[in-house]
Chain A
Amino acid sequence: MSDQEKDDSTQDAATTETADTGHEHDHGHDHGHHHDHGHDHDHDHEAEFEFVEAPVFEVEYKGECAYEVKATVAPANEKKQKSELLDKLQEDAELPGFRRGRAPRGLLEKKFGKAVRGDATEKLVSAAFQKLIKDQKLKPIQAPQIDGLEDVLDRPEDQPLTFTLKFEVAPRCELGKYRGLAVERPVRKISEEDIENVLLHTRERFALYEPLADGEAQDGDQVIIDFKGMVDGVEFAGGSAESYPYILGSKRFFPEFEAALVGMKPGAETTCVVNFPEDYSNAQLAGKAANFTIKVSELKRKQVPALDDEFAKMAGAESVAALREKVAGDLSKRTEADSQQAAEYHALTQIIGDTSFEMPKSLIDEVSKEYYEQELKRLRELRVPGSEVEKMDEEIKARTREDALRYIKTFVVLNEIGEAEGVEVTDEDFEKEAEAIVSRTGMGMEVVNRYLQQEDQRDEYATRIYRQKALAVVMQHAIVTDKEVTEEELQKEAANAPA
């Protein structure tokens, strides 16, 4: 029993930080939170430590948002912190032979002195860091790297605590001109031809393959074929099929095979010889010639529906006229969005060009890496062969780094503008955003609202809306001139713009 008790109380003292709050049940729920955020939030539920003698900081700015701070904390502070910790410990500690909270100070110090000292040091370091960023108004982006604490417990009590804090602060910038920018907005007029093009595409999408009783197969036709392939007089795996639908011109089979099919009538039979290339993926077939016998059982030709009201109804409009209008509306909406995006991109480019930045290296590296991995993933999904990717590696790295820089710069600039213009995100904005999501995704308003209520989602949307509003301010004050461009040019411009 007594051993058990001893273990418990040892743990209390040895567990850093948790020990003091662990027994205050009303604070218990703060724990998860506390650990997630590390040092930054220590003051959330703990009175800030008041230094007896203010710590001395030697701040050194290393450029690129990196700081190196040499801190010296007088021994009196450590003494105070330690006695505060022991006070707390004394209230809770249960030692064999003593009722809870009655253990003598001397005994506690003898038993837990080292752990308490380590704890006190840790707290002093974090308190010093808090004080530093508060006094100097710094915005660190990560917990500091702390050096010089390795043999801190072996140092005599009357020596001051010295250590070095290394950390980086959030990127900042000297905002350039952002009001009254001259921005060119690429626009594109929707012509009749564009509408016709879209209509044609839609009709092709609705096209059906209609069987032809008679006629000769030509490019674009679908043939249903039975075929049998022989290499050296033996059938080979994957070389035969029955009722196989094949579209001429799709180039899925070898050209010799396709050529043999052109001009075939339904029910006809033919043969062809296919020479497998030397580097064919199937080594057994590579470099060999195969004899195919092909029988065309059916011939189907694509029938594009006529442009009439019936087709319009299939495409979701009342009449041909209504369909035309709808297509025109969709087109102009899309080009409008593209134009706006391109214009915003131009505006941002101007601001960024006119602004000087200081960015932490680690942040750039992190974002670049993220972009780089995204790009690799994208390439993999596009089935770009690995050897190709390797060849382009340097280029991809450089490009993703550029993207990352641009992203961070955009982010910083918009935040800065938002601050300068007093942009605020209101509940109204959230409602608008929710409506936008509803109309975009077709989810229920309730679902969207619940989704937006989640804390992390809310934060994310808040920053997004904030930036949108900042950007809106920029565009409001910009002098926008329209410039007509072609479809390709507009697409290219829009592709540049950030999502």
Chain B
Amino acid sequence: MSLDPHFIIQRPLITEESQIQLSKGGQYTFRVNPKANKVEIREAVEALFPNVKVVRVNTMNYDGKMRRQFTSRTAGRRSHWKKAIVTLRPGDKIELI
């Protein structure tokens, strides 16, 4: 059973760093579902953008930051998340911006 690709790929991360990686080696950065593995991510990207081929996927897990509500003294945290850096076949492009 294959999951909805949107369930795996949550959104692109457009930052200064990701811009640099994009311009250097055709690497695109996404925030992905922490439960997804590299294979699932590859398949999801290829499903979302039919014209590209994924060469490599690097992932890393981020812990959500602690957030404190000053009004009610309850502690909590933002969700944990996973970042995936997807390397595409040279020449392939995704129009993000």
Bound-state Cα–Cα, A104 to B96, Å: 12
Interface 9-mer from A94-102, A172-180, A426-434 = A94-102
Bound-state Cα–Cα, A97 to B19, Å: 10
Q: How far is the CB of A444 from chain B (nearest CB, A)?
A: 60
Q: Which residues of A contact B97 (CB under 8 A)?
A: 104, 106-107, 110
CB contacts under 8 Å to A, within B11-26, are: 13-16, 18-19
Q: Evaluate contact between B14 and A102: CB separation under 8 angstroms.
A: no
Q: Main SS of the interface on chain A?
A: loop
Bound-state Cα–Cα, A104 to B16, Å: 8
Q: Which residues of B contact A98 (CB under 8 A)?
A: 15-16
Bound-state Cα–Cα, A131 to B78, Å: 57
**Chain A window 103-132, contacts with chain B (Cβ cutoff 8 Å), 1 for yes, 0 for no:** 010110010000000000000000000000
Q: Which residue of A lies closest to B14 (CB)?
A: A97
Q: Which residues of B contact A107 (CB under 8 A)?
A: 14, 97
Bound-state Cα–Cα, A110 to B95, Å: 12
Interface size class of B (residues with CB under 8 A): under 10
Q: Which residues of A contact B13 (CB under 8 A)?
A: 97
Bound-state Cα–Cα, A107 to B16, Å: 11
Interface size on A, residues (CB 8 A): 9
Q: How far is the CB of B64 from chain A (nearest CB, A)?
A: 15
Bound-state Cα–Cα, A102 to B17, Å: 11
Q: Which residue of B lies closest to A110 (CB)?
A: B97
Bound-state Cα–Cα, A218 to B88, Å: 119
Q: Which residue of A lies closest to B23 (CB)?
A: A104
Q: How far is the CB of A447 from chain B (nearest CB, A)?
A: 57
Q: How far is the CB of B36 from chain A (nearest CB, A)?
A: 22
Q: How far is the CB of B78 from chain A (nearest CB, A)?
A: 12
Bound-state Cα–Cα, A303 to B19, Å: 104
Choose among A99, A106, A110 the residue that contacts B16 (Cβ–Cβ < 8 A): A99
CB contacts under 8 Å to B, within A185-216, are: none
CB contacts under 8 Å to B, within A70-115, are: 96-99, 102, 104, 106-107, 110
Bound-state Cα–Cα, A439 to B97, Å: 74
Bound-state Cα–Cα, A481 to B16, Å: 87
Bound-state Cα–Cα, A83 to B97, Å: 18
Q: Which residue of B lies closest to A105 (CB)?
A: B97
Q: How far is the CB of A350 from chain B (nearest CB, A)?
A: 74
Q: How far is the CB of A207 from chain B (nearest CB, A)?
A: 83
Q: How far is the CB of B40 from chain A (nearest CB, A)?
A: 25
**Chain B window 63-97, contacts with chain A (Cβ cutoff 8 Å), 1 for yes, 0 for no:** 00000000000000000000000000000000001
Q: Which residues of A contact B15 (CB under 8 A)?
A: 96-98
Bound-state Cα–Cα, A104 to B14, Å: 10
Q: Which residue of A lies closest to B18 (CB)?
A: A97
Bound-state Cα–Cα, A102 to B19, Å: 10
Bound-state Cα–Cα, A106 to B18, Å: 14
Bound-state Cα–Cα, A98 to B15, Å: 6
Bound-state Cα–Cα, A96 to B12, Å: 13
Bound-state Cα–Cα, A107 to B15, Å: 11
Bound-state Cα–Cα, A92 to B13, Å: 22
Bound-state Cα–Cα, A107 to B13, Å: 13
Bound-state Cα–Cα, A458 to B95, Å: 62
Q: How far is the CB of B22 from chain A (nearest CB, A)?
A: 10
CB contacts under 8 Å to B, within A132-157, are: none
Q: Which residue of B lies closest to A97 (CB)?
A: B15
Q: Which residues of B contact A110 (CB under 8 A)?
A: 97
Q: How far is the CB of B79 from chain A (nearest CB, A)?
A: 15
Q: How far is the CB of A58 from chain B (nearest CB, A)?
A: 41
Q: Which residue of B lies closest to A109 (CB)?
A: B97
Q: How far is the CB of B52 from chain A (nearest CB, A)?
A: 19
Bound-state Cα–Cα, A180 to B89, Å: 94
Bound-state Cα–Cα, A358 to B97, Å: 57
Bound-state Cα–Cα, A96 to B16, Å: 9
Q: Which residues of A contact B16 (CB under 8 A)?
A: 97-99, 102
Q: How far is the CB of A107 from chain B (nearest CB, A)?
A: 5
Q: How far is the CB of B13 from chain A (nearest CB, A)?
A: 7
Bound-state Cα–Cα, A386 to B59, Å: 87
Q: Which residues of A contact B19 (CB under 8 A)?
A: 104
Q: How far is the CB of B96 from chain A (nearest CB, A)?
A: 9
Q: Kindly name the residue among A97, A99, A106, A110 whose own CB sees the greatest number of chain B CB atoms within 10 A.
A: A97
Bound-state Cα–Cα, A33 to B15, Å: 39
Bound-state Cα–Cα, A98 to B18, Å: 10
Sampled A-B contacts (12; CB under 8 Å): A96-B15, A97-B13, A97-B15, A97-B16, A98-B15, A99-B16, A102-B16, A104-B19, A104-B97, A106-B97, A107-B97, A110-B97
Q: A97-B15, A97-B16, A107-B97 known; 4 other A-B pairs, CB under 8 Å?
A: A97-B13, A99-B16, A104-B19, A104-B97
Q: Point out residues on A near B: beta carbons under 8 Å.
A: 96-99, 102, 104, 106-107, 110
The 3 closest A-B pairs by CB, nearest first: A97-B15, A107-B97, A98-B16
Q: Point out residues on B near A: beta carbons under 8 Å.
A: 13-16, 18-19, 97
